[in-house]
């Protein structure tokens, strides 16, 4: 299996293929659009000291020679290799048999969290190479379909892309080795094959549930608008000036303040009325509390309708409730995955039409239940990597208190609730949960938050002393070196990190606390689990649908349920321990947690099976929500 591939494969192998496809240009040429077709493939086969340049004009059904060469190679190289992988899948290639390599991903890994252009033209210029064929490049960028471009022009253009990609690759490999990033690069590349494969699997909505949710949200929105209008009197709440007068003159809210107590206002000096400000305003009177409660609820319903429910309703009306989503790399600073929806045409309330997709990574958890399996004879399973970021932080720091609590499955949210309550902020466990890991990401409790939050953040740092000490050390390292290598080997950069204020705050502290932990959990560990799950489900009736930060979503017939449960636990724990030790030279010491839910709809059950799996093979199992 390709998951056994070693990080030095790209540097040591002399048996690989460099590939570039030219295709029709619907949806940017995506292979997931069945109306698109391959026009031309250009590839170079490298065997030892020999390089054979090949090309083929034709469709996916005429690429047998290319398929043979790809499957005979140790790895496949391309710029943005996910695109080529998707087309190879349409050519009949089992992507589990391909080890990808990608100049774009290599540059992303080398850049860390620094955002830079990574297109082929820019990379070529940075490497001192000649630029792409400009005429064809400009034609394609202007929207001309490659099928309309003269074949001789297109062939020269495509061959040049292959040549440039190869030369860039040869310059990147020594940099990856010198910076000890080969293992990070390998993981990114291997996971790309999983993402390419997932993109062909559609998400399925339940039309009845969507209609009810949409109608309820619209009704609630209309009701809240009437109530707020009655409270505010004869003013236009959409007017920033009138809303500011109502908030600060009539209701007497205190304006937010920043550094040294300076009032936060717009560049023009106007009082703030944006959503972020309203989220932070502190209510001290019954009238203020009533307004904020209703306003925040209205904003929630408006966001639900415009960002999600309208899309869902239209997908059910015009697309049988199914749509595709794309999981992407090379978009985020932490290196976790992002997602973008493949656009569909929807009708807006004003009668206009718009192309719109849905971003699955950040949709409300409340909407998961609107998704069902693709057929009535299948179930949806969600496997969640429990408390993964806290466990990663504890493991990095070797924190004994965190280890004891994780190993003994102690409820960390109860400590949050009790600490907040002791300091005058009366909340139950559910409402305390959002604060639990706030200090893990540099949170200290702001001037516009309840004083109990600050007390809790102090208590967290005092309780998990090793984690706190480690993160404070990270900030000093970055201040000195302008970069940080995480325990898993990823490197993040803050070239302009300085001391601010009176010398007691290091710029980017929140990011420095956050990136190694979030990156280690959801850019390394969860994708590693995803990679293993995809490989281990080969030949089964389990279909991988989606991953959302710390979870893996799939569907299967009822008779595969036991196998799905076993593989989910194995891939999110044992396989991760082994892969980290083998490819990252890192021994993970904390147990990893796995929670599994199965229902006809995504996450639509209170019953959950929870595993705590230790590196030595011990495990515990319990159920909740029976």
Residues 281 and 256 sit within 8 Å (Cβ to Cβ): yes
Give the model's pLDDT for residue 118.
96
Residue 368 · residue 206 · CB < 8 Å: no
Helices 182-198 & 81-90 angle (0-180, nearest 10): 40
Strands 619-624 and 608-613: antiparallel
Instruction: Give the pLDDT of residue 355.
Output: 78
Q: What is the pLDDT of residue 128?
A: 92
Sheet holding 38-47, edge to edge: 50-57, 38-47, 15-23, 75-78, 100-102
* pLDDT at residue 232, rounded to an integer: 81
Instruction: Report the distance separating Cα 100 and Cα 569, nearest Å.
Output: 26
Q: What is the pLDDT of residue 486?
A: 98
Percent helix, percent strand, percent coil in the chain, to nearest 5: 50, 20, 30
| Angstrom distance (rounded) from CA 329 to CA 337 | 5
pLDDT at position 133, please? Answer: 63
- As a whole number of angstroms, the distance between CA 28 and CA 30 comes to 6
Query: Do 510 and 543 touch, CB atoms closer than 8 A?
Result: no
- pLDDT tens column, 9-48: 999 999 999 999 999 999 899 999 999 999 999 999 999 9
Those residues of the chain that have pLDDT short of 50 are none
Q: How many Cα atoms occupy the beta-carbon half-sphere of 8 within 13 Å?
A: 5
Residue 585: what pLDDT? 98
Could you report how far apart the first and last alpha carbons of the chain are, in Å?
Answer: 38
User: Phi/psi at 125 (nearest 5 deg)?
Assistant: -65, -40
Tokens 């030095």 found at: 8
What's residue 347's pLDDT?
75
Angle at 220 between CA 215 and CA 225, to 5 degrees: 130
Alpha-carbon distance 60 to 83, whole Å? 14
> pLDDT tens across 125-179, in order?
999 998 766 789 899 999 999 999 999 999 999 999 999 999 999 999 999 999 9
What would the two tokens of residue 304 be?
Answer: 């639900």
pLDDT at position 508, please?
94
pTM of the entire predicted model:
0.92
């Amino acid at each position: 299996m390709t998951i056994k591939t070693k990080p030095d494969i790209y540097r040591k192998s002399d048996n690989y293929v460099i590939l570039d496809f030219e295709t029709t240009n619907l949806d940017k040429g995506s292979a997931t659009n069945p109306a698109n077709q391959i026009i031309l493939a250009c590839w170079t086969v490298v065997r030892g000291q020999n390089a054979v340049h090949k090309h083929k004009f034709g469709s996916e059904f005429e690429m047998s020679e290319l398929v043979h060469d790809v499957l005979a190679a140790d790895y496949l190289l391309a710029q943005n290799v996910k695109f080529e992988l998707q087309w190879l899948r349409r050519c009949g290639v089992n992507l589990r048999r391909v080890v990808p390599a990608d100049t774009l991903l290599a540059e992303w890994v080398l850049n860390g969290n620094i955002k830079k252009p990574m297109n082929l033209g820019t990379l070529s210029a940075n490497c001192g190479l000649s630029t792409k064929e400009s005429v064809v490049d400009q034609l394609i960028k202007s929207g001309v379909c490659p099928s309309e471009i003269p074949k001789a022009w297109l062939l020269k253009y495509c061959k040049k892309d292959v040549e440039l990609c190869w030369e860039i690759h040869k310059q990147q490999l020594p940099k990856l080795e010198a910076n000890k990033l080969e293992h990070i690069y390998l993981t990114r590349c291997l996971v790309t094959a999983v993402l390419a494969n997932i993109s062909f699997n559609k998400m399925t909505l339940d039309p009845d549930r969507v209609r009810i949710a949409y109608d309820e949200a619209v009704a609630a929105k209309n009701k809240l608008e009437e109530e707020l209008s009655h409270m505010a009197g004869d003013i236009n709440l959409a007017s920033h000036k009138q809303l500011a007068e109502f908030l600060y003159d009539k209701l007497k809210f205190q304006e937010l303040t920043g550094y040294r107590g300076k009032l936060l206002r717009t560049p023009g000096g106007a009082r703030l009325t944006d959503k972020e400000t309203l989220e932070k305003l502190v209510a001290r009177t019954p009238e203020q509390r009533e307004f904020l409660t209703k306003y925040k609820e209205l904003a929630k319903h408006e966001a639900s309708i415009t960002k999600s429910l309208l899309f869902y309703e239209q997908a059910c009306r015009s697309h049988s409730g199914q749509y595709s989503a794309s999981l992407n790399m090379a978009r985020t600073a932490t290196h976790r995955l992002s997602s973008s929806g493949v656009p569909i045409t929807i009708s807006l309330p004003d009668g206009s039409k718009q192309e719109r997709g849905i971003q699955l990574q950040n949709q409300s958890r409340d909407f998961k239940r609107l998704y069902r399996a693709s057929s009535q004879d299948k179930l949806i399973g969600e496997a969640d990597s429990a408390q993964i970021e806290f466990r990663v932080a504890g493991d990095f720091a070797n924190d004994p208190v965190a280890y004891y609590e994780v190993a003994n499955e102690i409820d960390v949210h109860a400590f949050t609730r009790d600490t907040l309550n002791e300091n005058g902020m009366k909340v139950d466990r559910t409402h305390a949960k959002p604060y639990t890991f706030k200090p893990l990401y540099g949170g200290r409790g702001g001037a516009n938050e309840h004083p109990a939050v600050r007390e809790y953040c102090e208590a967290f740092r005092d309780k998990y002393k090793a984690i706190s000490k480690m993160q404070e050390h990270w900030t000093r390292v970055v201040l000195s070196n302008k970069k940080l290598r995480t325990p898993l080997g990823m490197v993040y950069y803050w070239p302009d990190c300085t001391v601010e204020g009176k010398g007691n705050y290091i710029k980017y502290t929140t990011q420095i606390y956050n990136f190694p932990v979030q990156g280690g959990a959801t850019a390394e560990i969860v994708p590693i689990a995803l990679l293993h799950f995809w490989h281990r489900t080969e030949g089964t009736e389990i279909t991988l649908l989606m991953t959302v930060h710390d979870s893996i979503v799939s569907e299967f017939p009822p008779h595969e349920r036991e196998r799905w449960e076993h593989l989910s636990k194995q891939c999110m724990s044992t396989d991760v321990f082994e892969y980290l030790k083998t490819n990252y030279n890192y021994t993970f010491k904390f147990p990893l947690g796995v929670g599994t839910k199965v229902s006809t709809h995504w996450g639509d059950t209170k019953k959950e099976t929870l595993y705590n799996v230790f590196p030595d093979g011990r495990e515990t199992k319990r159920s909740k929500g029976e």
